[in-house]
Every structure is written in C-alpha cells, then in structure tokens.
C-alpha cells in the first residue's frame, strides 16, 4: 500500500506523501523460526545469550566523526548479511547521533525511525528529530538513528534509474482492458527485475532486508552504544520495526513509543484493503472541510459528491493528461494526480496546498501543483534523480509477507471490496497491490502477533482519522503487546507526536523523561 512513514519525516514543511503508480506497500511481518506462520502465531523471543558467531558484531565500538549539520556525528557498524550464517559476509550500517545537550542527567540513547519502510532514519534525525524534538528530550538523550539495511546509507537497494523511474510512476494503475493490464504487469516485472540486477549491492542484500533482520541490527547498535536497554520512538512502519524488536528482545525494552501503529497479525490483502479505507476516511475529512469553502475546487454539496467529482477528474486525466511545465516533459495523468492527492492526506496542514493544486489542475489545466506533491512523495529531486525510498519500500514489504495478489484475475476478483472501501481510490490501490506478485525473492515472513511478554510498558499511539495506519491497527497492536498502553489522538493526519497536540506531546515526553507511561486508553484531541 502507500508508505507508512511519519508525516514529519521528510517534511521540508511539505507533506509526507502517499504512494503512487504501483509502488504500494503490500504488508509487513516475519515469523520467527518455529512459528506456525498464521495470524494466531506469536513472534518468539530470541535467546538472551549472544550466539558465539555474533560475538564480534556485539563487541564493536563506533568511530565517530563529524557529519551533516553542526553537532551531528556519524559512524559505521558491521552487521552479518545473514544472521543464520554469520560467516557469509557483512554489510555496513550507517549510524548518526547528536549527543545530549543537557542540562539534566543523561538517560542514554534514543533511537528514532520515521517509517516507510525505506525512509532514511539518518535524514530524519538530521533534518527533524535532532533539532525538532522537545528540548527536554534532546537535553537528556543522545539522539540516534540507523538507516535500516537496504535503506539510504546502509547497503541501499536500487532498482531503476531516473528516467525509468519516471516512466514507472506514470504507469496506469486503473487498467481498462487486457492490453493495459499487460502493460501494468510488465511495469511491475521490470521494476522487480531491476531490483535484482541493478548493481552488486542490490543483488546481495535483496534476500536480507526483512524487518526481523533490521530489528536484530538495532540490537547490535544498542550494544555498540553501550545501552543495556533500547529506548526508541518509531513512527508508522517504524512501529512495526519497534514492535518486532520488542518481540525478539523483550527483556531489553526500555522506553518504546510506537506512533501510528501497524497490526502485524493482518495479511497483506487485509492491510491493503484496510489502508484503502483509511485513505477514504481521510479524504472524507478533507472533502467535508473543502465543500464548506467558497473556493473549493470540488464544488459544494456532500463529501461523497466531492469524491465523485474527483473521480471524474481522474478519469479525464486517464484519457488526456495535462501540462505541468516540467522540464523533462512529464504530464499529469491519473497515476501522478492520484499520488498528489493522497499525499496531502497525510497531513491536514497540506490541505490548502491540495486545494490550490486541484484548482489549478481542474480549472486552469495546470498540473504543476499536483506533480510537485507527487514528486515530494517519491523523493524525486529537480534533476530527475530519486532516493532509494521506493526501492527499499518494495524490497522490505515483498520480503516480509506473501503478496496480496499474484495475478490480474485475483485483483479483478477483489475490486468490489476495494471500491467499497474507497470509491475514489479503491481500484488504483487494488491494482497497485499486485507489485509483489512478481517479486524475484520469495517472502520469508507471514502474519503473526507480537506479545513481547515480559517487556516494560510500551506506548502505542493511534490517530482516529489516520489515512496510512488506520486507528484500529493501533488498538490491535496495543492489545497484542502484553505491556501495551494505548494513547489515542482524536484528529486528522498520520501519526500524532509533535503535530500540535499538547496532550499527546506531554504524555509522551513524560514517559520518555520520567518513565511513567500514560494510562491505558488515554484520549487526546
């Protein structure tokens, strides 16, 4: 489905954006050896003792150097490519930190992850968390980030060059006939093949970028930092990464905040369909606000009527894309326009930007605004290059769980359910979930519960109208975790911490600084 990533992660005060032509998340998870591989199975904890083959990795000392903005340091740590065969070779994990500034007693390290999967934790730390987290938190914690394996600076997966990625993002994901279905399948196959053949790094790490392996890497980082327990704030997909860590190492859980939580017990089809409903909920909230304004580009009336007008606009773009002024000649078709709209669902602060972009596109035939939203989501730079966000996104998700669909016919059979979940976005999201059906590496994980028996209290945060991680997922994860404490934000947008609620921020800051979790079931607005 669409990216599970914190709305502040790549903000530059734009939005954290949604997915597009075919690059949708397809689920997460990974059962430990010996689990039954069903949603009733629980992730089993690893032995407390360090296996002999991993001793050298756990004995590393980071060699810090200045990097990035003033006050930040970077280092590299080794991790085994394959934890089952440590002798098979290493990968380099990129780590960054900003040391505690004081005053007050240092509380250790606080790892942060913005989600994705595929979001750069180091980029998030240096552009937001290391300077934007509350001063009291930054005063007493060393703020730390590690790019997960396959992501950004840590053995990144790459699949396509810029021009081929441009073509991929414009692929029609609402095929009208067999020929268009074939073109979409061909695009998915080309993308998947590229991930395996682009370079040696991609080929090497592609079978080893699962969430379980990334969680095990975090324990190596914890040890290298000299912390007995892991303190962590994970947003969006970062909640699954953090919950996985807790399931594997419950006795090493310090203070964990899981904001915008995911439910690991759902299979890929359920995740995709429920996220589709989440985007519909978010769109209804945007549309309700929009139709009450005199300048709403979707007219007046009900949110449902606004949705019908938007769908009609997408259909028009499917037939006749409009100009954008892009120097590379890209026009705005249905795929990029849908991405731009869903992008703004992640942050209600982007609604004015979306209204302006839709006004220009619908009334003036100028697609530049929606294209800019889509490019920001894809992390496409003006020179036509892309970060590896979307490549890592697919690589992790396609490894973590069996695909939602393996053939066009399966998608067509599911269309009624997806279109019921979202009349506006359902068809495109259903077809986009076919991408992992052509993945070159077999999945290693399946749905499972995470209980983390014996862990210290874990704070799970859910937003009631979250588009990307629907609120029921937070309730489900909090129920699964033996020590889960549910904290609810009654509001719009993706994730809650640092988005303007003094109630949410105060509860989380108190937990991080004093160790006192909020009362289970606490609600904020």
Catalytic residues: 236, 466, 494
Per-position DSSP letters for 208-263, written without gaps between them: G--HHHHHHHHHHHHHHHT-SSEEEEEETHHHHHHHHHHHH-GGGEEEEEEES---
Name the token pair of 240. Answer: 């699954």
DSSP string, 114-142: -EETT--HHHHIIIIIHHHS-HHHHHHEE
Query: What's the rounded Cα separation, in Å, for the pair 436 and 413?
Result: 17
Rounded CA separation 264/474 (Å): 10
Residue closest to 272 by CA, chosen among 448, 397, 444, 117? 397
Instruction: List CB contacts of 145: < 8 A, sequence separation 6 or more.
Output: 95, 96, 97, 111, 112, 113, 121, 122, 124, 125, 126, 129
The dihedral region occupied by 523, where left means phi > 0, alpha psi between -120 and 50, and beta the remainder, is beta
DSSP-based three-state secondary structure for 63 = coil
Per the CB < 8 A criterion, the answer to whether 247 and 35 are in contact is no
- Which tokens belong to 178? 């067999």
Q: Which two tokens stand for residue 190?
A: 């080309």
Count CB-CB contacts under 10 A for residue 246. 31
**Is 391:348 a contact under the CB 8 Å cutoff?**
no
Number of Cβ atoms within 10 Å of the Cβ of 193: 15
Which parts of 81-210 are beta strand (E)? 90-98, 108-113, 115-116, 141-146
DSSP helix/strand/coil, 402: coil
Give whole-number Cα distances, 377 to 354, 421, 465, in Å.
13, 23, 20
Q: Yes or no: say if 299 and 306 are a contact pair by the CB < 8 Å rule.
A: yes
DSSP strand E in 317-414: where?
none
**CB of 464 within 8 A of CB of 471?**
yes
256: closest CA among 94, 105, 461, 98? Answer: 461
Secondary structure (3-state) at 42: strand
Residues in contact with 362: Cβ distance below 8 Å, sequence separation at least 6, in sequence order: 297, 313
Q: How far apart (Å, rounded) are the C-alpha atoms in residues 307 and 116?
A: 27
Altogether, the residues listed in the chain come to a count of 525
Q: What is the CA 482 to chain-centroid distance, rounded?
A: 24
């Amino acid at each position: 489905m669409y990216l599970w990533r914190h709305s502040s992660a790549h903000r530059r005060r734009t939005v954290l954006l949604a997915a597009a032509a075919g690059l949708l998340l397809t689920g997460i998870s990974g059962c430990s050896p010996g689990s039954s591989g069903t949603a009733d199975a629980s992730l089993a904890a690893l032995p407390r003792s360090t296996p002999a083959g991993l001793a050298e990795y756990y004995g590393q000392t980071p060699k810090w150097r200045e990097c990035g903005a003033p006050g930040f340091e970077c280092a590299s740590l080794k991790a085994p490519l394959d934890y089952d065969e440590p002798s098979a070779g290493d990968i380099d994990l990129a780590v960054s930190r900003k040391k505690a500034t004081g005053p007050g007693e240092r509380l250790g390290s606080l790892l942060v992850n913005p989600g994705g999967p595929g979001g750069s934790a180091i980029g998030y730390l240096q552009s937001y968390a290391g300077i934007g987290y509350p001063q009291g938190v930054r005063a007493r914690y060393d703020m730390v980030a590690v790019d997960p394996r396959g992501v950004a600076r840590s053995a990144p997966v790459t699949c396509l060059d810029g021009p081929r990625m441009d073509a991929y993002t414009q692929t029609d994901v609402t095929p009208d006939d067999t020929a268009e279905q074939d073109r979409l399948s061909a695009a998915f196959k080309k993308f998947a093949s590229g991930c395996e053949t682009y370079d040696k790094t991609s080929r090497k790490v592609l079978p080893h970028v699962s969430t379980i392996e990334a969680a095990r890497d975090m324990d190596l980082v914890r040890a290298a930092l000299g912390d007995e327990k892991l303190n962590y704030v994970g947003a969006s997909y970062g909640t699954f990464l953090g919950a996985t860590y807790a399931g594997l190492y419950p006795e090493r859980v310090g203070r964990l905040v899981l904001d915008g939580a995911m439910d690991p017990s759902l299979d890929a089809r359920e995740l995709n369909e429920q996220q589709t409903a989440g985007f519909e909920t978010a769109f209804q909230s945007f549309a309700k606000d929009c139709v009450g304004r005199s300048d709403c580009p979707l007219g007046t009336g009900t949110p449902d009527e606004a949705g019908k007008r938007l769908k009609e606009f997408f259909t028009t773009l499917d037939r006749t894309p409009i100009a954008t002024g892009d120097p590379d000649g890209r026009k705005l078709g249905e795929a990029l326009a849908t991405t731009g709209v869903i992008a703004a669902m992640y942050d209600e602060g982007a609604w004015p930007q979306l209204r302006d972009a839709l006004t220009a596109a619908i009334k003036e035939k100028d697609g530049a605004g929606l294209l800019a939203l889509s490019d920001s989501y894809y992390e496409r730079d003006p020179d036509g290059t892309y970060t590896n966000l979307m490549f890592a996104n697919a690589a992790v998700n396609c490894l973590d769980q069996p695909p939602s669909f393996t053939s066009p016919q399966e998608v067509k059979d599911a269309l009624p359910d997806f279109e019921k979940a979202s009349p506006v976005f359902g068809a495109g999201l259903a077809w986009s979930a076919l991408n992992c059906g052509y993945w070159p590496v077999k999945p290693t994980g399946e749905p499972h519960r995470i209980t983390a028996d014996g862990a210290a209290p874990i704070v799970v945060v859910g937003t009631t109208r979250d588009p990307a991680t629907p609120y029921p997922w937070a309730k489900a994860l909090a129920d699964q975790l033996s020590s889960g404490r549910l904290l609810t934000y009654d509001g719009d947008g993706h994730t809650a911490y640092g988005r303007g609620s003094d109630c949410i921020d105060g509860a989380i800051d108190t937990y991080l600084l004093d160790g006192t979790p909020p009362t289970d079931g606490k609600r904020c607005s």
